[in-house]
Amino acid sequence: MTGQCTLSKFAGDTKLGRVADMPEGHAAIPRDINRLEKWADRNLMNFNQEQCKVLHVEKNNPRHQCMLVATQLGNSLEEKDLGVLVDNRLNITLY
């Protein structure tokens, strides 16, 4: 089962997440990003593609490339959010 994506917005940040442990989940990620692009376009919102990153979690993740507005997104080994640093192994550090 692929389920739904998770979208969160806070101030100027937007996060899109999904469990992609099956091929169907991997295939759904580009569709989720496309839906997000259409939503942003309808709401006259732009994304700064240089700041958009993909955090692949788990060591066996195939790390598929993601595109946003025809730009390949970079990968990240860790991300900071609201005082918490999370890495690709789900280690959490407060900062």
Which residues, at least 6 apart from 59, have a Cβ–Cβ distance to it below 8 Å?
89
pLDDT 10s digits, 24-61: 888 888 899 999 999 999 999 988 888 899 998 877 77
- The verdict on residue 49 lying in a domain is yes
- For the chain, what is the domain count? 1
Radius of gyration of the chain (CA): 14
CB 85, CB 77: distance < 8 Å:
no
Q: Which domain holds residue 43?
A: 6-94
Does residue 1 form part of some domain?
A: no
Is residue 84 one of the residues assigned to a domain? yes
**Against a cut of 0.85, is the pTM above it?**
no
